C-alpha cells in the first residue's frame, strides 16, 4: 500500500543536490574525445563544453545521437555499459520531437538529467561502493516519497540488481543505469496506478488491456 500522497512528486528535483557538477566518476560520455572529419559548428549561444560532449557522442557526425551512439557513450562506474532498456528510456524522455534521435537541444536536457541522477546516486551510495544496495535503495525511494512494503523493496532490489543472489552473502548491488531505471519504473507505475485509483482508496478495478498498457509503458 502506498501511504504518502506526495509519492512520485518531483523525482528529479525534490531531493536536494548541492553540487553534482564536477563529479568525476562515470557514467559520462567521453568528454576528452576530439572530433574528426567534417563537423558543423555549434548553434549560436551553445555552451561550448556541452557542444564538445555532443559531438563526441555523435560519432557518425550525423548531427544527432542514435540509441547505439548513446549506449556506446554511457558507462557505469564499473565500466559496464548501460542496459539498452535504460538507454531507450532516456531516449523516450528526451526525444521530444519523436525523431528517434537526440538533437543538440534535446541533448542539453538529457545531460542535465544524467548529471542530476549522478548526484542522487552518489548521495545514496553511502558506502561509496559504486553500487546501490537494498538499504540504500529503500532510503532513496523513501526520500522520493515512496513508502513501499519490505516485500516490494526486496523484489525491486532483486529485479534491478546487476546479478543474481548467490544464496549466501548480500545480493549484488544495483549499478547507476539500473538504479535510474528502477526509480523511474516505480514512479511511472505508481503514478499510473494512482490515476486509475480515482477514488483514492488504494484499490483499482482495471481490465486486461488497461493493465497491460500500464505495465508496457513503464521502462
Which residues contribute to the site for a second copy (CB under 8 A)? 1-2, 66-68, 83-85, 88, 91-92, 95, 98-101, 148-149, 151-152, 155-156, 159, 162-167, 178, 189-190, 193, 197, 202-209, 211-213, 215-218
Q: State the minimum distance, in angstroms, from the CB of residue 208 to a second copy.
A: 5
- CA 168 – CA 139 distance, rounded (Å): 23
Q: Which residue has the cell 545521437?
A: 65
CB 77 within 8 A of CB 176: yes
Considering the complex, state which of residue 56 and residue 196 has its C-beta at the smaller distance from a second copy.
Answer: 196
Considering the complex, state which of residue 22 and residue 167 has its C-beta at the smaller distance from a second copy.
Answer: 167
Cell numbers describing residue 192: 499510473
- CA 48 – CA 50 distance, rounded (Å): 6
Q: Which residues contact 104 (CB under 8 A, 6 or more apart)?
A: 42, 43, 46, 51, 54, 63, 64
The gap between the terminal CA atoms of the chain, to the nearest Å, is: 21
Q: State the minimum distance, in angstroms, from the CB of residue 209 to a second copy.
A: 6
Considering the complex, state which of residue 50 and residue 218 has its C-beta at the smaller distance from a second copy.
Answer: 218
Instruction: Please give the C-alpha separations between residue 112 and each of 13, 26, 117, in angstroms, as whole numbers.
Output: 11, 14, 9
Q: State the minimum distance, in angstroms, from the CB of residue 5 to a second copy.
A: 13
Q: State the minimum distance, in angstroms, from the CB of residue 11 to a second copy.
A: 16
Q: State the minimum distance, in angstroms, from the CB of residue 85 to a second copy.
A: 7
Considering the complex, state which of residue 16 and residue 205 has its C-beta at the smaller distance from a second copy.
Answer: 205
Considering the complex, state which of residue 49 and residue 165 has its C-beta at the smaller distance from a second copy.
Answer: 165
Please tell me the number of Cα atoms within 13 Å of 217 on its side-chain side.
13
Q: Give strand pairing partners of 158.
A: none
Q: State the minimum distance, in angstroms, from the CB of residue 26 to a second copy.
A: 17
Considering the complex, state which of residue 34 and residue 164 has its C-beta at the smaller distance from a second copy.
Answer: 164
Amino acid at each position: 500500500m502506498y501511504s504518502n500522497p506526495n509519492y512520485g512528486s518531483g523525482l528529479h528535483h525534490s531531493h536536494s543536490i548541492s553540487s553534482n557538477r564536477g563529479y568525476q566518476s562515470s557514467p559520462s560520455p567521453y568528454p576528452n574525445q576530439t572530433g574528426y572529419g567534417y563537423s558543423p559548428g555549434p548553434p549560436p549561444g551553445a555552451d561550448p563544453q556541452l557542444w564538445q560532449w555532443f559531438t563526441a557522442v555523435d560519432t557518425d557526425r550525423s548531427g544527432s545521437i542514435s540509441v547505439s551512439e548513446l549506449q556506446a557513450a554511457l558507462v557505469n562506474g564499473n565500466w559496464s555499459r548501460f542496459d539498452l532498456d535504460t538507454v531507450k528510456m532516456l531516449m523516450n524522455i528526451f526525444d521530444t520531437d519523436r525523431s528517434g534521435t537526440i538533437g543538440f537541444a534535446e541533448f542539453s536536457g538529457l545531460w542535465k538529467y544524467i548529471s542530476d541522477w549522478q548526484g542522487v546516486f552518489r548521495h545514496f551510495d553511502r558506502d561509496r561502493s559504486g553500487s546501490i544496495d537494498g538499504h540504500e535503495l529503500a532510503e532513496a525511494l523513501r526520500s522520493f516519497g515512496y513508502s513501499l512494503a519490505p516485500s516490494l523493496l526486496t523484489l525491486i532490489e532483486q529485479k534491478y540488481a546487476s546479478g543474481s543472489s548467490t544464496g549466501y552473502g548480500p545480493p549484488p548491488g544495483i549499478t547507476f543505469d539500473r538504479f535510474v531505471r528502477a526509480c523511474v519504473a516505480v514512479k511511472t507505475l505508481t503514478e499510473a496506478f494512482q490515476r486509475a485509483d480515482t477514488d483514492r482508496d488504494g484499490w483499482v478495478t482495471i481490465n486486461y488491456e488497461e493493465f497491460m498498457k500500464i505495465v508496457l509503458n513503464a521502462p
